[in-house]
A and B are shown apart, each in its own frame.
Chain A
């Protein structure tokens, strides 16, 4: 479904990603793990077009999306749930979800999706009229996920959904993402600092370090690797 081929990105003179190759197949949950500053968010931003790719290609469902304008990528079926949530603070929960559905023309489908979102996160239904800026961090993260879901995406990209959340709330978020994967068959690309949780549910994973992919494989392969165990799993 998504294929990143020899992608390189630089900020000014500073190389943030070099020669990244990565693939997500339909129905998979793929994790990308790596330390701070490894370039995980940069990878997502390059896929979404917020930062410009230096070289390489990104193919989504057979189409080279680097050739399309950034806003068109949501219309193509990619939902990016960004690091730090980025909800629209002065808009209500309902309006945030409507903006999530901006790329979705079908009104009936939209109602269905809203119901699904409210089933996953009942608190959002309760807070429909509240300004998103006044939600708690966990609620904002739920809203950011719901907003991503509202466009009926084919691929969802989550950038550190547990960032800054209490462990119990983070657990709920992970559960919901796993649920989306299992029950809805959603294809997911996940970046996480909490490596153990991110690895647990994933079909495959990539380890990113200072802009390079240093390892990839299934959960079993990665978790049996001594370096990964020591660096990320604390074992």
Chain B
């Protein structure tokens, strides 16, 4: 006996909601990895910091905001993470990029080691500061849901968790703002130019070093915001980033390197596959399903779902 229609719709809606957040996470990594080609092992830990920051500021001084507090907190986490990412790039990452390195491979190796170090530092630093007990954002939204009746009978219904729905909505809004920023604004275009050809961008008068710092900061900020949103239904602990980092990289590659929009859809695909897989295979194999689909898609479309070739054939 297969899954019921009710079960299917419930899983599908959860998949879409989770997919929106994965999409946002992937958009964040797209700035750093897809566009700037910096391998950042610490991206999951940026998300983890965002979770703790969001819970921290909610508990300490956002209580008066009521139900909207977690969302304001997520934004604050984003701002803090932007500054942190900007500084981290200025002080450390910039030493492993650009013209100081003779080849891209050279700089990737140093980035790997450097950001792995940052990741370990952040994980163990948080373990030291807050301990390993999981911490969740307490909100009434997390425990309430809208019930959407299915019209084909009187009893079936799909439940939409309020926290997850608002999370997904926020994730989509922020992603759309970022797409617009990259596509239409002078700053967004200069970031793309600085990523595509740093030397030429310099000849245009673009402060390339600063552009790279801003892009890295934005990537960290998005991870922070996403963490602030996710912590509404997924508790934080110092190693929580490890649960998400693979999803982020898979989503960016799936969407097509270099495309921020593609990264969002890559994340969405992974969210959907992860949830829908539970209909047919055991829960423990959820993540295996992601990789099967990942490999299948790349077999058919090596440039990713939305990757396009702009070089002449």
Contact = CB atoms under 8 A, between A and B. Distances in A.
Contact of B197 (A79, A88, A102, A131): A88
Contacts of B197: 86-89
Contacts of B127: none
A50 B199 CA distance: 7
B81 to A, nearest CB: 26
A88 B193 contact: yes
Contacts of A148: 203
Interface stretch (A13-21, A66-74, A211-219): A66-74
A87 B200 contact: yes
A218 to B, nearest CB: 29
Interface residues of B, number: 22
Contact of A91 (B192, B203, B208): B192
A71 B190 CA distance: 12
B6 interface: no
Interface in A31-88: 48-50, 69-75, 79-80, 82, 86-88
Contacts of A132: 310
B310 A102 contact: no
Interface of B is mostly: helix
Interface string B177-212: 000000000100110110011011111111110000
Contacts of B196: 88-91
B189 to A, nearest CB: 6
A131 B310 contact: yes
Nearest to A104: B205
A95 B189 contact: yes
Contacts of A131: 310
B189 A91 contact: yes
Given A79-B203, A88-B197, A90-B196, A99 B311 contact: no
Nearest to B259: A90
A103 B310 contact: no
A88 B205 CA distance: 14
A30 B118 CA distance: 51
B202 to A, nearest CB: 5
Contact of A103 (B193, B200, B205): B205
Contacts of A88: 192-193, 196-197, 200-201
Interface string B99-123: 1000000000000000000000000
Given A90-B258, A98-B189, A151 B204 contact: yes
A86 B204 contact: no
Contacts of B192: 88, 90-91
B199 A71 contact: no
Contacts of A161: none
A86 B204 CA distance: 11
Interface in B193-244: 193, 196-197, 199-208
A80 B203 contact: yes
A204 interface: no
A134 interface: yes
A135 B206 CA distance: 24
A90 B192 CA distance: 9
Given A88-B196, A88-B197, A71 B202 contact: yes
Contacts of A73: 205
A192 to B, nearest CB: 19
Contact of A99 (B99, B204, B258): B204
A97 to B, nearest CB: 10
20 contacts: A48-B203, A49-B202, A71-B208, A80-B203, A82-B200, A87-B200, A88-B200, A89-B196, A90-B192, A91-B189, A98-B186, A99-B193, A99-B201, A99-B204, A100-B204, A103-B204, A131-B310, A133-B310, A133-B311, A134-B312
Interface of A: 48-50, 69-75, 79-80, 82, 86-91, 95, 98-100, 102-103, 131-136, 147-148, 151
Given A71-B205, A86-B199, 17 more contacts: A48-B202, A82-B199, A82-B203, A86-B200, A87-B197, A88-B192, A88-B196, A88-B200, A88-B201, A89-B310, A91-B196, A99-B189, A99-B201, A99-B204, A99-B206, A133-B312, A134-B310
Complex A-B, nearest 4 residue pairs according to Cβ-Cβ distance, in ascending order: A74-B205, A103-B205, A133-B310, A86-B200
